[in-house]
Amino acid sequence: MRKVKKGDQVKVIAGEDRGKMGKVLRVYRDTYRVLVEGVNMMTKHQRPTQTVRQPGIIEREAPLHESNVAVVCPDCGVPTRVGVAMVEGTKMRRCRKCGASFE
């Protein structure tokens, strides 16, 4: 079971953008990477195409490795490790610090 999912609020714990927080936009399961909103920005030289009419230099997010982010618990509001608990016969993710289940 993966610890980070799309829509989670995460905090970057390692790298150039350490300390920044953002929402997970996409999870790349095969490479263990996540795309976080407003974090790890890169510049890309874009040429005009059928879909992108405006050429120029654009800024966009680049993926981070899953191990460099920590899920922020919605109850206690601090970055935490994620555990798994059985709640009514289903697996639920839970906060290791306060014990609250979230999904």
Rounded to the nearest integer, the mean pLDDT of the chain is 92
Residue 101's pLDDT band (cuts 50, 70, 90): confident
Domain range for 23 is 1-72
C-alpha span between 59 and 46 (Å, rounded) = 10
Provide mean pLDDT across the span 4-16: 95
62/98 same-domain check? no
Q: How many domains does the chain have?
A: 2
Domain of 50, CATH number, reads: 2.30.30.30
